[in-house]
Amino acid sequence: MDFCNLEDLSIKKIKEMCMNKPSWELVHAIENDKRKGVQDLKKRLRNRLIAEEKNKAHLESLLSNQLNLARENNAKRVAGIDEVGRGPIAGPVVSCIASLQHDFDFNRIIKLNDSKSLTNNEREKIYNELTSSSGIKYALGTSTPEEIDKLNIQNALVISMTRAYNNLNEEIDLALVDGNFVPPTLDNIGKYVPQGDQKVASIAAASIIAKVYRDRLMDDLHNKYPQYNFKSNKGYGTKEHREAIKAHGPCCVHRKSFLSGIIQEGPSISG
């Protein structure tokens, strides 16, 4: 690209170039432009390019780790499994299993990472890219608050992961599970990966899909039970949420076994 005579261009035009054709060549080309507006643009463009390089390097690491695990386990068809909702005092636990296909366009999700490290807008964007692509096979499984209370959270996690696996319309050779255990139903093909959502591409994808799916469920529950502000707290035990339970009693989506110390015997909202 020819960057001659950039100082003759308006700041608005240079801004358009920064937005539409970002490159290190452009950063260098405007290095000596003394206009404050151009120097501000240079700084923002430089930070953007550094962030993109960092994201691309992390994505390459996610893919490389997954490939290495596949080779070590002599597996061709690999999927990642992650859950969300272990800690909240309301709502289900949700698990996702995701299998990224060979034809998936990873350039569309260079910010792929564990869901906790992303903003809500970033998660939503990546979720939409993932779930709208034919290059990924995925399935979800949930375990209800009633099951969590009856069976305990660990067993409920196993149930949700098993349901996700059973819902996947895809044969797999290796299931990489985030955390430190493999559900008994996946013993033959499962391998746990501590902090796997930060290390393996398919697990990171599963973590984002599970997170966005559960957040949307909690948003729907907010419309039914606005007094608990599920839209904001997503079922977690914030001070506001705990105070709402004390004031109104728990509803049917609260995990009663998680409410010790918050409520005594008292009113309960059904429905």
Which residues are known binding-site members? 82-83, 178
**How far apart are the C-alpha atoms of 123 and 27, rounded to whole Å?**
29
The answer for residues whose C-beta is within 8 angstroms of residue 190's C-beta and 6 or more apart is 174, 175, 176, 177, 182, 183
Q: Please, how many CA atoms are within 13 Å of residue 75, restricted to the half-sphere of its CB?
A: 22
Residue of 238, 235, 231, 206 whose CA lies nearest to 216: 231
Give the angle 234-83-204 at the CA atoms, nearest 5°.
105
CA distance readout (Å), 68 to 74, 117, 137, 171, 201: 10, 24, 21, 20, 12
User: Which residues are annotated binding-site positions for a divalent metal cation?
Assistant: 82-83, 178
